[in-house]
Amino acid sequence: DADVTQTPRNRITKTGKRIMLECSQTKGHDRMYWYRQDPGLGLRLIYYSFDVKDINKGEISDGYSVSRQAQAKFSLSLESAIPNQTALYFCATSDAVQMGHNEQFFGPGTRLTVL
Amino acid sequence: DAKTTQPPSMDCAEGRAANLPCNHSTISGNEYVYWYRQIHSQGPQYIIHGLKNNETNEMASLIITEDRKSSTLILPHATLRDTAVYYCIVTTTGANSKLTFGKGITLSVRP
């Protein structure tokens, strides 16, 4: 979805380096999410934010941190990257839950390789 | 959130209907059934959702059994572009609702 962008799209780094993945959205949504996907598996939630002042841990937050700088931006950081953080990372957004619907809109993904 | 069970893979011929099953025997009364799909490592895309009534939109139909313990996503005329991983997700739509993705079912549409 072009309304949700991720940078960089691909990144190769070395063990111990600090890495930041960025997500921006123009959908005006309050809620933003970071997921990782390993080969052959579904997406797992890392962190999520329901508004600028709200940060919540997901299923696999260890080794990651996030920053919600503005409604439109949500950054994921790996303070000291390790090889098992090699994965495909997705950002997603959703509007506040209304009318019984919770649809998330996903970015194109960032492929991160940690050597 | 209730757990879902899907077969790992299935295939169908182009132009035929693709019927993708999902079991969710522990679904609660306030949980919805959502379907997303992921085409070749792209971001997942919402398809359809329902609570207890059958639903249809421009992409697919969702049939939920009367006891709500299982459902079927129907792609009425599958095309090669429908080849993807399809995720069946059961979730509430409350303030703290989140999506939990399993491994999904890989649909291969053959020419």
Of B43, B46, B98, the CB nearest to A90: B43
Specify the pLDDT at position B98: 83
Contact of B104 with B86, CB cutoff 8 Å? yes
Tokens of A42: 């579904």
> Which residues of A are less than 8 Å from B49 in CB distance?
101, 103
Specify the pLDDT at position B22: 97
pLDDT in tens, B3-33: 899 999 999 999 999 999 999 999 998 899 9
> Which residues of B are less than 8 Å from A42 in CB distance?
87, 101-104
Share of residues in chain A with pLDDT > 90 (%): 80
Contact of A115 with A13, CB cutoff 8 Å? yes
With CB atoms and an 8 Å threshold, state whether A97 touches B91: no
> Which residues of A are less than 8 Å from B46 in CB distance?
103-105
- The β-bridge relationship of strands A87-94 and A105-106 is antiparallel
Residue reference for tokens 């009367």: B66
Mean pLDDT of A21-41: 94
Share of residues in chain A with pLDDT > 70 (%): 96
B42: nearest CA partner in chain A: A108
Question: Dihedral through CA A47, CA A63, CA B86, CA A3, nearest 10?
Answer: 50
With CB atoms and an 8 Å threshold, state whether B43 touches A44: no
With CB atoms and an 8 Å threshold, state whether B41 touches A43: no
pLDDT in tens, A49-102: 998 989 999 999 999 999 998 999 999 999 999 999 999 999 999 987 665 677
A6: nearest CA partner in chain B: B43
CA distance B7 to chain A (A): 14
Higher pLDDT, A5 or B29: A5
With CB atoms and an 8 Å threshold, state whether A102 touches B91: yes
Please list the helix, strand and coil fractions of chain A in percent, rounded to the nearest 5, in that order: 5, 50, 45
With CB atoms and an 8 Å threshold, state whether B104 touches A88: no
With CB atoms and an 8 Å threshold, state whether A48 touches B98: yes
